[in-house]
Structure 1
Amino acid sequence: MPDSASPLAAPSASPQSLKGLAPFLRPHRGRIFLAMLFLTLAAVTTLVLPLALRALIDNGFMPGDPDQRVMALRGHFLALFGVGLALGVFSALRYYSVTWLGERITTDLKRAVYSHVLRQSPEFFERTQTGEVLSRLTGDTTLIQTVVGSSLSMGLRNVIMGLGALVMLVITNPYVMAQVLGILVLVVLPATVYGRRVRKLSRNSQDRLADASAIAAEVLNAIPVVQSHTAEGREATRFGNSAEDAFSTGVRRIRARAVLVAFIISATAGALLFGLYQGTQSVIEGRITAGHMSQTVVYVILLITSVAALSEVYGEVLRAAGATERLMELLSTKSVIQAPAIARTLPARQGGASVKLDHIGFNYPSRPNQAALRDVSLTVNPGETVALVGPSGAGKTTVFQLLLRFYDVQSGRIELDGVSIQDLSLDSLRDRIGIVPQDSTVFSSSAMDNIRYGRPEATDDEVMAAAKAAHAHDFISQLPEGYQTFLGERGVRLSGGQRQRISIARAILKDAPLLLLDEATSALDTESERAVQAALQAAMQHRTTLVIAHRLSTVINADRIAVMDKGHLIDVGTHAQLMARCALYARLASAQFDDQAA
């Protein structure tokens, strides 16, 4: 459940929320017209049925020649069969049309929401649980599919049949139906008031289901941590409590809907039976025929069943309205990181990029009172390798996140090749940057696809060359299907070092002017580290490289080393220079090299 600061917090839904689906319905106006046409024809055909039945009763059993009566009965039954055949055809066409619409619209909606979420800034994911988003993508879209592809068409058909039956009853029995309509008004008013409670419970029910999904997603993504702390029982209990909370809310919603349905059906049936009773008196008194009475009975049944069906559909519509509102909230969420309306383009450059941090000040949105960077200025020349070192929390990774424009600085300016990164499109900026993160991400696909991820158009030979440079070719070749081997979810079939080398090969293949290495060899053993360091040195040729490293031995030969502490840039220089003049760097270096000697 999002907290009060969540961008997804929202009030309870109403049927008006379904208007949010309009942009997804608009491209399919032709299909919608056909669906409405077939729906109307099916409903009208159903309304014709009582008229054919009345003709059968009044004319098929009239005194006269037996042969003529038989022929008349055949004609009336053929007419009834024709009505039934038309009803079957129109109903089938209606079903296909509306079901197609339901599938198409929910598919478009899923694609739009997922694409929109992928472009949100990290700040969005700091405030929103992944399970909440997944719940909306799956559970909410399923509800909408049910309503658009089934319930809504049933509701519209029953509206047409109910109104048609009501009109016919008013035409044939105006005085009696005037009394009935007066009673029905008294039914609608309390049902509308009580319906607000059902709407609120429908929204709450969806939110509780999202809570349970969020817990499950979080725990399943951290199974090794959960099991290593023997927390399976605790986590199962936590999920169970959340699921029970969702169940309890669902029961309250079901109970409220049951009361609403019972009231509507009972009150409507009572009102219509009163009208039917009045009709039987008219037959006894000879004011209408038996066929007229049969027609009235069928129309009353159609009206009652339509109202009963509408009461059920209304509950589904309320749930779909809540689901639609939740999805529209996602679609209306604006990323705080926006590209300019007219983006500048970077000049073509062979080799590395230039980077300039000019008096940068930055606080994370989740920690507005704690500065992550304070007045940091640093210039990196094309082709230069600069290492960022310092204690944990010094602000090193923050520099990388700002360069990638995951966040915007509160003060100062960041330039790439002389252009402010805020003047560039996000795609243009990030295409010029390759990164090897500390926690390597491997997708649930083949080794070939994983390395090619940053450059989809690369050939197989180029992928293999990158893998060889990252010293990943040998272990990939030994996999059951080589480069086509499925690596499992999050690369579970690989060791940490192997995942890291896949990530390094991906960055080498991208061949971006600016390379960011965030503890790129942290998961490697000493022998592999030496090999990969050599590969990285080759990849860094003619490229600008920023390196974050806690092990100073890996950056001792960098062109320059920038020492950071508590968000400040303390000093910049070579290893020898910093050992002579920077107390913090000397202390870090001495501690590490002494440990290695020991």
Structure 2
Amino acid sequence: MSILAGFLHYYKPYRRLFYIDMACAIIVSAIDLVFPQVLNYLTKNLLIAQTREFIAIIGYVGAGMMLLYGVRYACQYYITTWGHVMGARMESDMRQDLFDHLQRLSFSYYDKNNTGEMMSKLVSDLFDISELAHHGPENIFISCLKLIGSFILLLMINIPMTLILFSIAVSMTIFSYYKNKRMKILFLENRKRIATVNALVQDSLAGIRVIKSFANEEIEQKKFRRGNLEFLESKESVYKIMGSFYAGNGLLEGLLYVVVLVSGGYFIGKGQLEATDLAVYALYIAIFINPLDVLLNFTEQFQKGYAGFKRFAEVLQTQPEIVDKEAATPLTNVKGGIEYRQVSFAYEGNNDVLNQVDFTVEAGKTIALVGPSGGGKTTICSLLPRFYDVTAGMILIEGQDVRDLTITSLRNAIGIVQQDVYLFAGSIRDNIAYGRPDATEEEVIAAAQKANIHDFIASLEEGYDTYVGERGIRLSGGQKQRVAIARVFLKNPPILILDEATSALDNESERHIQAALEELAKQRTTIIIAHRLSTIRHADEIIVINDGQIQECGNHQTLLAQNGLYAKYYNMQFDGLEIID
């Protein structure tokens, strides 16, 4: 019922369209039921009339029928056109709701779900739902009207024949019910399999350069072939059950005609039925069977739409883990004081990544996090803007627990430049302005100049309007990194997180950017993750993270004097051995 209620919710904005659609469906059904009655009237009354009188009346009857079919045309046009428009608008609303909800979900959801599967829910699933939204009520409504109407009229012609007919229709219903239960399971499985195929395609196309660099096209082809064959097997199972479903119902429909032929002949022979009544009865049999066919064909559409909407509803029912508290307050007048107090954290189902981490960053100071890969440095930074919430302990900004602050105000106060730079498909200007969408052209250019990327952009034929390609593929690694840094310059936040921010730059560019970052960091609280230890020698404090705990802390000279882990790494780099981090 919750799935049905969720589905019906999307009809509310389009109630007027829906009601007119249903009214048109009533008119279409009524007109279809009228024709056999007109034929019955003509055969029983007018054929015995005088020729002149018959010709005059048949003209009026023909004109009346043409008028009715003109009305039917208008109603059918509305059903086909505006019924589909209603379904398309509902599909659009669902897609927007799903996309909006995906934007609200926390990082943990994306850690567990594949992009290709999410795309499948946004595109193919919603198309099937749209078709169900339009054709579902219409097909059910028209078919039920025709079934009930034709059944009543058949009873008026001959009750015994109609009761026999009804018993066969009940047998078809029972048969369809049991086949549908099996089809529902198979269609849901089919949706999962096509989502897997979409995931494989997305993963392979996104990593096409890695695939080709390793000459692993054959491996990817085998992976896709396996997923594709599993989807094919799923579809074959669906078509086998559909084959028995439609063939079985076709057999029962044929039985209907046989019963009408045999029983009709019997009752005519007994004098209980006229030959003209049998002709009219046969016309109503066609009207009676047509909606049965529609309902049977609708079964496939319903199962696809139901499976799609169930998957859609499952996403909407997924609650984001990171949300504002009811009494959350905005973060204002940020100076940048940060405190990690007894912070522990573990990803779902894993051991602790951080274990009772304690440190304080005074406003305007710069700290650097160093240590071996997997020690927890990036996790420490991810907890500050609440990409994840601490398992134990607390993180405070200006003495306020970050969980008591509104997420928007918290993240607006923090600028992040990551090692894995992401640029959106669009212009260079769009990507820099993403840091502050209302920025002026002059502000965008100023940010680019500070990031040492303006001269390069100005040298391009289209300048700031240059298209960067998907994930910025048309720019080099260093150029992408500097665009990302310009984005943060434009945002101008009081707190900075630089996660390997200069790792993709050549030495000359690094010197320029390092100077710019040092300028930007003045009077701002800055947390730097770096494996090039030469870039963080001037940090106010360096914290060495190892196995989720703070192993050493102090400034550059202090840590060298301790001759511990930091000194070991620094000396290795000084000797020309780069630490992979």
Q: What TM bracket, shorter-length normalisation? A: over 0.9
- Structure 2 counterparts to residues 39-438 of structure 1, below 5 A: 39-64=25-50, 66-150=51-135, 152-282=137-267, 287=272, 292-349=277-334, 352-366=335-349, 368-369=350-351, 371-438=352-419
Contact 1:571 1:582 in 2 (8 A): no
**Cα distance in structure 2, aligned partners of 1:19 and 1:57:** 49
CA shift at 1:284, angstroms? 6.1
In structure 2, relative to structure 1, the CA distance for the partners of 1:16 and 1:301 (3 Å cut) is farther
Structure 2 counterpart of 1:511, from 492, 511, 521: 492
Contact 2:121 2:308 in 1 (8 A): yes
Contact 2:180 2:299 in 1 (8 A): no
CA shift at 1:272, angstroms? 4.8
CA shift at 1:464, angstroms? 0.9
3-state secondary structure, aligned to 2:86: helix
**Cα distance in structure 1, aligned partners of 2:495 and 2:298:** 57
Question: Which amino acid is the alignment partner of residue 147 of structure 1?
Answer: L
CA shift at 1:488, angstroms? 0.6
CA shift at 1:227, angstroms? 1.0
TM-score, length basis structure 2? 0.95
Structure 1 residues 201-245: Cα deviation after superposition (integer angstroms, max 9, x where no partner): 111111111111111111111111111111111101211221111
Contact 2:330 2:410 in 1 (8 A): no
**Cα distance in structure 1, aligned partners of 2:290 and 2:9:** 33
In structure 2, relative to structure 1, the CA distance for the partners of 1:58 and 1:478 (3 Å cut) is farther
Question: Which amino acid is the alignment partner of residue 357 of structure 1?
Answer: Y
Q: Which residue of 1 aligns with 2:19?
A: 33
Question: Which amino acid is the alignment partner of residue 335 of structure 1?
Answer: P
Contact 2:384 2:395 in 1 (8 A): yes
CA shift at 1:596, angstroms? 7.8
Please say if 1:574 is aligned against 2:555: yes
Contact 1:52 1:79 in 2 (8 A): no
**Cα distance in structure 1, aligned partners of 2:120 and 2:577:** 49
Contact 1:18 1:324 in 2 (8 A): no
Contact 2:366 2:527 in 1 (8 A): yes
Contact 1:401 1:407 in 2 (8 A): yes
Contact 1:276 1:300 in 2 (8 A): no
**Cα distance in structure 2, aligned partners of 1:315 and 1:166:** 25
CA shift at 1:409, angstroms? 1.1
Structure 1 counterpart of 2:528, from 547, 572, 577: 547
Structure 1 residues 117-159: Cα deviation after superposition (integer angstroms, max 9, x where no partner): 1222222122212211111111111111122233552343222
**Cα distance in structure 2, aligned partners of 1:481 and 1:291:** 81
Structure 1 counterpart of 2:546, from 550, 565, 586: 565
537-546 or 446-455: bigger deviation: 537-546
Contact 1:55 1:291 in 2 (8 A): no
CA shift at 1:97, angstroms? 2.5
Question: Which amino acid is the alignment partner of residue 401 of structure 2?
Answer: S
CA shift at 1:574, angstroms? 1.3
Structure 1 residues 458-489: Cα deviation after superposition (integer angstroms, max 9, x where no partner): 11111111111101111112223111111111
Contact 1:34 1:97 in 2 (8 A): no
Structure 2 counterpart of 1:439, from 420, 423, 431: 420
Contact 2:343 2:355 in 1 (8 A): yes
**Cα distance in structure 2, aligned partners of 1:212 and 1:333:** 23
Which segments of structure 1 move beyond 6 Å, counting only runs of 4 or more? none
CA shift at 1:162, angstroms? 2.1
Contact 2:31 2:72 in 1 (8 A): yes
Contact 1:212 1:239 in 2 (8 A): yes
TM-score, length basis structure 1? 0.93
Question: Which amino acid is the alignment partner of residue 592 of structure 1?
Answer: Q
**Cα distance in structure 1, aligned partners of 2:115 and 2:78:** 40
In structure 2, relative to structure 1, the CA distance for the partners of 1:45 and 1:132 (3 Å cut) is same
Structure 1 residues 539-584: Cα deviation after superposition (integer angstroms, max 9, x where no partner): 2222111111000111111121111111111222211111112511
**Cα distance in structure 2, aligned partners of 1:485 and 1:19:** 48
Please say if 1:592 is aligned against 2:578: no
In structure 2, relative to structure 1, the CA distance for the partners of 1:186 and 1:150 (3 Å cut) is closer
3-state secondary structure, aligned to 2:452: coil
Question: Which amino acid is the alignment partner of residue 30 of structure 1?
Answer: R
* Contiguous gaps of at least 5 residues in structure 2: none
128-137 or 179-188: bigger deviation: 179-188
Task: Count the aligned residue pairs.
Answer: 578
The root-mean-square deviation of aligned C-alpha atoms, in Å, is 1.9
CA shift at 1:395, angstroms? 1.0
What percent identity do the matched residue pairs reach? 32
* Contiguous gaps of at least 5 residues in structure 1: 1-14
Contact 1:517 1:546 in 2 (8 A): yes
CA shift at 1:58, angstroms? 3.3
Structure 1 residues 276-305: Cα deviation after superposition (integer angstroms, max 9, x where no partner): 543455556665555543432221101112
3-state secondary structure, aligned to 2:367: strand
3-state secondary structure, aligned to 1:337: coil
**Cα distance in structure 1, aligned partners of 2:120 and 2:33:** 41
Contact 1:116 1:331 in 2 (8 A): yes
Question: Which amino acid is the alignment partner of residue 501 of structure 1?
Answer: R
Question: Which amino acid is the alignment partner of residue 355 of structure 1?
Answer: I
**Cα distance in structure 1, aligned partners of 2:555 and 2:95:** 52
Structure 1 residues 421-474: Cα deviation after superposition (integer angstroms, max 9, x where no partner): 111222121111110000110110111111111211111111111111101111
**Cα distance in structure 2, aligned partners of 1:474 and 1:164:** 78
Contact 2:418 2:500 in 1 (8 A): yes
In structure 2, relative to structure 1, the CA distance for the partners of 1:582 and 1:170 (3 Å cut) is farther
In structure 2, relative to structure 1, the CA distance for the partners of 1:514 and 1:284 (3 Å cut) is same
